């Protein structure tokens, strides 16, 4: 018999209540029949499914365009990897026409809404036909926004397009045409790590930008920035790229007065402190772009303590000279520099002590508080208050001094151990020598070694 | 003086120390070209006493729990006066002890000193090898650092591979399915109570038997010459003493120049450090298990390897009964070849274990 009693009972249930034949050979025959039927059913399902797929692919558009010159057949190939195709859309869903007609004129019948290649002006409406239709978009991606065309109209691109400028970016300039991918697809031209390059294709082109009188070095500058480093080197997709500051569909340069709001999206603490600082009012009056005045915009470098002082690399001295602000900058710069140097010294000393085999992990852990305090004080630079920064740095300085002393103690302890060892070894060797002499003394007198 | 003499007499009447002194005075050590190896038994015993003394001192501050173990060892080496020295000496001495024990054991093996009537001395010695390895394995976990945590995890996993009894052994050692604070607590128990108790009995028997039978002379020397002898007290003992004093110097130097690292605290959720390796005296077994193919004749390679080591251990304990006529003919050659093979195997596999990534 095959299986346990329970297993046999369950097999009977599977065979719709019919009892299994008693012999194993009969059971095998029946199993072969059942498996054959199941295999045929599966095959039938896949044949049906593939016929449905091939129906899409064998529209008259595809049949004819596949055979044409590369300019006209390329869209057929690139559409294979398009997100729209994966959602079940075909050529006629955007271009109109009748894909069931083999005759060219009938297939491209304008009465069927046929549009061959939309002009730049037509493109936003062309895409917006679906993308601005909330009811329609819900069927494909309920979370996708449907205001892109509206936003686009507010962008510099959109405004210039409305004025008849055919050279400005439209939907297809950024998203591509027939090989459009979802923005979270790493192959997409608008994937976070690809956005800057996509924008740079036009904005990095000197000839293209010349008529507009705007710079064309933003992409190059951005590539050297702290943000690009985070995005490209650390693969941090949350690091800002072009659209995070300029917007995407509503792309426009943030005005000088709103830059702080843009940066403050991520650097909220710094923005908050700056708003309350004595710099806020004069910056507004002078129409200085708040954050970018000190940090620049596209090529933002990692901030350094020297930026806050009055020495080389200082940004304060570009406005302050022999005034109260200059003195404050001097104090802030020296305070930050002193604490930072002390922390580095303590770290270096503790590292050396650790390499020498001393246990300093407690001090190393404790020193983190000093580093945290320094980081907080660096943020407080946006208050422009030397007193407040000094107050924040005092515990950090005390901590670094204490842990530097711990490193020094480790070395004095090490030196004590080495000296102690030297003394002990002298004593130990002396003792061993004494015992040796004792042995010689014993063995030289009576005949202690017998034969 | 009279008072001391009367005290001695009083004690002698009750303890018979006079006879012990007489026996010690009578005890002699044979002198021949292999006599140097006689010192390693005493050295192992001396290092064991170092372990007991430093271990007791560490116990004054050590806290056997997952929450407190690492911190207490950290406290010992940073805050306690000379705590660093005691802890480092304990760790270094443990390693030197195992090394001295290996030298002592192989010298006894190659000199066929296990032959009748010293079979039980050999067996107690072999059992002390296993106990010492147990000390090493259980003590390694006690600082509760990252390396120790993962070494224990891997070590107990290997024990768990043994068919039928493996899993119960694993659960018994770990105090559950995973290495946790429960494992630390019971390893502490093994390390400071169970193993010392067993070791004391075995060492007592071992040393007593050595006194009863005296030092064995290698068969070849015994047959060809009547070796000279040396008084154990004081001549040999003073020589032993020089060795012990120098051992203290070596331990002090190692502790001061190469303090035993504490590392990072164990974290069950952290990933295992790359290239994790056990202590050097386990490395040859670990490396062998790594080289064994997954399947050997449809059987699990690792299981076969562990069973092989188990049989090897059993063979080692039973050597005196397998080689009853050492020092003669073919059998001596076979056992010498086996011994040399084991030594070379251990050395090569240990080096390979260190060199390989």
- Determine the distance in angstroms separating the CA of B243 from the nearest CA of chain A, rounded to an integer: 8
Based on DSSP, count helices (H) and strands (E) in chain A, helices before strands.
24, 1
How many structural domains comprise chain A? 3
What is the distance in angstroms between the Cα of B86 and the nearest Cα belonging to chain A?
13
Q: How many domains does chain B have?
A: 1
Domain assignment present for residue B196? The answer is yes
A434 Cβ under 8 Å from any chain B Cβ: no
Alpha-carbon torsion, ordered B345, B351, B353, B357, to 10 deg: -150
Contacts made by residues A31-34, CB under 8 angstroms, sequence distance 24+: none
Structure tokens at B29: 């050590």
- The alpha carbon of residue A115 and the mean position of all alpha carbons in its chain are separated, in whole angstroms, by 39
* Exposed/middle/buried for residue B77 (C-beta within 10 Å: 0-12, 13-18, 19+): buried
State both tokens at A80: 């294979």
Q: Write the CB contacts of A242 (distance below 8 Å, at least 6 apart in sequence).
A: A195, A196, A199, A218, A222, A251
Cβ A424–B252 below 8 Å, yes or no?
Answer: yes
The answer to whether position B277 is within a domain reads no
* Residue B235 forms contact with A (CB below 8 Å): yes
For A48-74, give one letter per residue: b (16+ CB within 10 A) or e: eeeeeeeeeeebbbbeebeeeeeeeee
Positions of E strands within B152-241: 228-231
Same domain, A130 and A211: yes
CATH number at residue B163: 1.20.810.10
Q: How far is CA A215 from CA A202, A209, A218, A288, B225, in A?
A: 11, 7, 7, 19, 103
A417 to chain B: which residues are within 8 Å by CB?
A: 84-85, 256
- Find, in chain B, the residue whose alpha carbon is nearest to that of A440: B235
The pLDDT value given to residue A6: 44
Indicate whether B212 belongs to any domain: yes
According to the model, what pLDDT value does residue A17 have? Answer: 39
Residue the block writes with tokens 């246990």: A359
B295 occurs within a structural domain: no
**A378 close to A267: Cβ distance less than 8 angstroms:** no
Task: Let me know if residue A383 belongs to a domain.
Answer: yes
> How far is C-alpha A337 from the geometric centre of its chain's CA atoms?
31
Task: Answer yes or no: is A433 within a domain.
Answer: no
Instruction: Kindly report, residue by residue over B65-97, the tens digit of the pLDDT.
Output: 999 999 999 999 988 999 999 999 999 999 999
Mean pLDDT, all residues of chain B: 92
Of B143, B138, B106, nearest in space to B125 by CA = B106
**Is residue A193 assigned to a domain?**
yes
Structural domain of B250 = 27-266
Name the domain boundary from A191, A218, A245: A218
Q: Is residue B138 part of a domain?
A: yes
Residues of A in Cβ contact (< 8 Å) with B256: 417-418, 420-421
* Residue B73 · residue A359 · CB < 8 Å: no
| B83 belongs to a structural domain | yes
**B225: confidence class by pLDDT, cuts 50, 70, 90:** confident
- In this structure, is residue A167 part of a structural domain? yes
Q: CB pairs below 8 Å between A and B: how many?
A: 70
The pLDDT tens digits of the residues spanning B7-47 come to 999 999 999 888 888 888 888 999 998 999 999 999 999 99
Query: Last residue of some domain: A159, A190, A218?
Result: A218
The tokens for B332 are 């001596």
Indicate the burial class of B80 (C-beta count within 10 angstroms; 0-12, 13-18, 19 or more): middle
pLDDT for A397 equals 97
Cα A397 to the chain's mean position, in Å?
34
Calpha distance B299→B301 (Å, rounded)? 6
Pick the residue of A435, A440, A441, A448 with the most B CBs within 10 A to test the interface with B by mutation. Answer: A435
- Report yes or no on A398 lying in a domain: yes
Domain assignment of residue B215, yes or no: yes
Instruction: Kindly report the nearest CA distance between residue B79 and chain A, in angstroms.
Output: 10
Token pair of B319 as six digits: 């050597």
Domain with A153 in it = 121-218
pLDDT in tens, chain A (451 residues): 344 444 444 433 333 334 444 566 666 677 777 777 777 766 665 545 444 444 445 688 888 888 888 888 888 888 988 999 988 888 888 888 888 888 888 888 888 888 888 888 889 998 999 999 999 999 888 888 899 999 999 999 999 999 999 889 999 999 999 989 999 999 999 999 999 999 999 999 999 999 999 999 999 999 999 999 999 999 999 999 999 888 889 877 776 667 778 888 899 999 999 989 999 888 888 877 788 888 988 989 899 998 988 989 899 998 898 889 999 999 999 999 999 999 999 999 999 998 888 889 999 999 999 999 999 999 999 999 999 999 999 999 999 999 999 999 999 999 999 999 999 999 999 999 999 999 999 988 755 444 4
**H or E element: which one contains A63?**
helix A60-66
């Amino acid at each position: 018999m095959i299986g346990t009693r329970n297993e046999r009972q369950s097999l009977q249930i599977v065979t719709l209540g019919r009892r299994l034949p008693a012999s194993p050979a009969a059971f095998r025959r029946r199993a072969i029949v059942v498996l054959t039927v199941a295999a045929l059913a599966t095959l039938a399902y896949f044949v049906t499914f593939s016929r449905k797929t091939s129906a899409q692919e064998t529209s008259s558009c595809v049949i004819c365009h596949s055979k044409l010159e590369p300019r006209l057949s390329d869209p057929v190939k690139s559409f294979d990897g398009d997100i729209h195709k994966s959602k079940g859309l075909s050529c006629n869903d955007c271009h109109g026409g009748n894909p069931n007609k083999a005759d060219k004129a009938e297939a491209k019948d304008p009465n069927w809404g046929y549009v061959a290649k939309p002009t730049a002006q037509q493109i936003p409406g062309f895409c917006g036909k679906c993308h601005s239709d909330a009811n329609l978009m819900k069927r494909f991606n309920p979370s996708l926004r449907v205001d892109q065309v509206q936003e686009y109209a507010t962008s510099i691109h959109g405004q210039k397009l409305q004025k008849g400028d055919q050279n400005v970016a439209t939907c297809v300039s950024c998203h591509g045409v027939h090989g459009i991918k979802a923005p979270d697809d790493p192959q997409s031209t608008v994937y976070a790590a690809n956005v800057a390059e996509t924008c740079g294709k036009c904005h990095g082109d000197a000839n293209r930008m010349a008529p507009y009188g705007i710079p064309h070095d933003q992409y190059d500058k951005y590539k050297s920035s702290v943000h690009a480093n985070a995005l490209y080197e650390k693969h941090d997709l949350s690091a800002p790229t072009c659209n995070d500051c300029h917007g995407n569909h509503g792309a426009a340069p943030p005005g000088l007065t709103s830059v702080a709001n843009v940066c403050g999206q991520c650097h909220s603490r710094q923005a908050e402190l700056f708003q309350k600082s004595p710099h806020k009012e004069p910056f507004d009056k002078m129409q200085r772009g708040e954050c970018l005045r000190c940090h620049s915009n596209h090529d933002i470098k990692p901030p350094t303590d020297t930026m806050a002082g009055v020495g080389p690399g200082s940004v304060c001295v570009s406005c302050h000279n022999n005034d109260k602000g200059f003195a404050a900058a001097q104090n802030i710069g020296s305070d930050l520099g002193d604490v930072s140097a002390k922390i580095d010294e303590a770290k270096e000393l503790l590292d050396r002590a650790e390499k020498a085999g001393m246990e300093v992990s407690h001090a190393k852990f404790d020193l983190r508080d000093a580093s945290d305090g320094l980081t907080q004080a660096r943020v407080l630079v946006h208050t422009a208050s030397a007193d407040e920064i000094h107050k924040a740095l005092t515990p950090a300085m005390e901590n670094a001094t204490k842990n530097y002393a711990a490193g020094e103690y480790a070395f004095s302890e090490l030196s004590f151990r080495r000296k102690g060892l030297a003394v002990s070894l002298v004593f130990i060797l002396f003792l061993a020598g004494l015992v040796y002499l004792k042995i010689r003394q014993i063995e030289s007198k009576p005949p202690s070694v017998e034969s | 003086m009279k008072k001391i003499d009367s005290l001695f007499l009083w004690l002698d009447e009750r303890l018979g120390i006079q006879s012990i002194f007489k026996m010690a005075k009578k005890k002699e050590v044979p002198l021949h070209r292999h006599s140097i190896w006689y010192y390693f038994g005493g050295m192992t015993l001396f290092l064991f006493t170092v372990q007991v003394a430093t271990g007791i001192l560490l116990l004054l501050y050590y806290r056997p729990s997952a929450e407190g173990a690492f911190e207490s060892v950290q406290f010992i080496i940073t805050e306690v006066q000379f705590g660093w020295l005691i802890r480092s000496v304990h760790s270094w001495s443990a390693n030197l002890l195992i090394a001295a024990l290996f030298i002592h054991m192989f010298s006894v093996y190659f000199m066929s000193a296990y032959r009748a009537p010293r079979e039980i001395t050999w067996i107690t010695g072999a059992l002390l090898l296993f106990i010492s390895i147990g000390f090493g394995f259980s003590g390694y976990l006690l600082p509760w650092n990252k390396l120790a945590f993962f070494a224990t995890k891997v070590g107990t996993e290997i024990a768990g591979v043994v068919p039928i009894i493996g899993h119960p052994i694993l659960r018994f050692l770990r105090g559950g399915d995973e290495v946790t604070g429960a494992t630390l607590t019971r390893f502490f128990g093994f390390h400071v109570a169970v193993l010392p108790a067993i070791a004391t009995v075995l060492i007592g028997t071992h040393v007593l038997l050595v006194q009863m039978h005296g030092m064995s002379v290698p068969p070849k020397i015994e047959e060809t010459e009547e070796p000279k002898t040396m008084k154990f007290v004081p001549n040999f003992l003073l020589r032993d003493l020089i060795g012990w004093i120098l051992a203290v110097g070596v331990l002090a130097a190692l502790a001061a120049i190469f303090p035993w690292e504490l590392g990072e605290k164990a974290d069950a959720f952290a990933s295992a450090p790359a290239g994790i390796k056990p202590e050097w005296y386990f490395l040859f077994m670990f490396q062998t298990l790594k080289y064994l193919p997954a399947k050997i004749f449809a059987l699990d390679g690792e299981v076969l390897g562990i069973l092989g080591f188990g049989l090897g251990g059993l063979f080692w304990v039973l050597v005196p009964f397998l080689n009853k006529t050492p020092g003669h003919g073919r059998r001596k050659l076979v056992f010498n070849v086996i011994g040399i093979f084991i030594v070379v195997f251990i050395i090569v596999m240990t080096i390979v274990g260190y060199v390989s990534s």
